[in-house]
Amino acid sequence: MAEKKIPTINEALALARMYWGYSQTEMANALGMSQAMVSEIERGTKSVTLETLDRYANALDVKKSQLMFFAEEIDGKGPVRKGRLIIADAALRILRKLKPTEKMDAEAR
């Protein structure tokens, strides 16, 4: 049986970036970090710290708490309740459906 994927803050940040129409390079510039670091965060190879979350919240003009909704754990602080993960998973499914396609991105530029 396939293992169910747990929604993560990393995927939420990637989907939010795409939803707001930023490329990884543009997001990196807005965050004051390298494009490689943004890529590692979005792939989940780098953990999301509270400082990183602050940067994303400022760049996307959203509340940090709205982004933290998707966090299973940040800075090693405990897992969230199962009910919240179910809701976070549903929200991520909606964002995935709204994710711009590569063609739409090219036309917007």
Domains and CATH numbers, the chain: 9-108 (1.10.260.40)
Average of per-residue pLDDT across 41-60: 90
What confidence category does residue 100 fall into, taking pLDDT thresholds of 50, 70 and 90? Answer: confident
The whole-number pLDDT of residue 88 equals 62
What percentage of the chain exceeds 70 in pLDDT? Answer: 63
- The three-state secondary structure class of 45 is coil
- The three-state secondary structure class of 30 is helix
What whole-number distance in Å separates Cα of residue 104 and Cα of residue 109?
9
Amino acid at 2: A
pLDDT at residue 97 tops 80: no
What whole-number distance in Å separates Cα of residue 20 and Cα of residue 95?
11
Q: What is the CA radius of gyration of the chain?
A: 14
Q: Which residues contact 87 (CB under 8 A, 6 or more apart)?
A: 69
